[in-house]
Amino acid sequence: MNAKLHVKKGDTVVVIAGDSRGQQGKVLEVIVDKNRAIVEGVNMVSKHTKPNAKHPQGGIIKQEASIHISNLKVVDGTGKPTRIGRKIDAKTDKLVRYSKKSGEAIK
């Protein structure tokens, strides 16, 4: 299954459902096969780690866990959450994502 997702790495998104509802952050990674994304500062979990090169002391580390993309909405240039559409750009003849709320292209 090769469905297009409405979120991309680098997008600013807001969480619309779940424990992290209302939080905003940048998408660090999109896990396409699981329809999930890792968002900066959202859905933080405590992970117990053994000592290693990165963390010589080991211990409990806070890190982001993935969140389902259905719980995310992309924030457009105006700073408001919006739905995403796709259309062919008249000037470049390329498929671009656009904000359904404002109508402007997203990056």
Query: So what's the architecture of 12-51+60-99 in CATH?
Result: Roll (2.30)
Q: For residue 2, name the pLDDT band (cuts at 50, 70, 90).
A: low
- Find the mean pLDDT for residues 64-90: 93
Contacts of residue 7, defined as CB under 8 A and 6 or more positions apart, other chains included, come to 13, 27, 30, 37, 69, 72, 74
- Find the mean pLDDT for residues 45-59: 94
Kindly state the percentage of the chain with pLDDT values over 90: 81
- Find the mean pLDDT for residues 65-80: 94
Q: Give the model's pLDDT for residue 4.
A: 86
What are the structural domain ranges in the chain? Answer: 12-51+60-99
Q: Residue 28 in contact with residue 36, Cβ under 8 Å? A: no
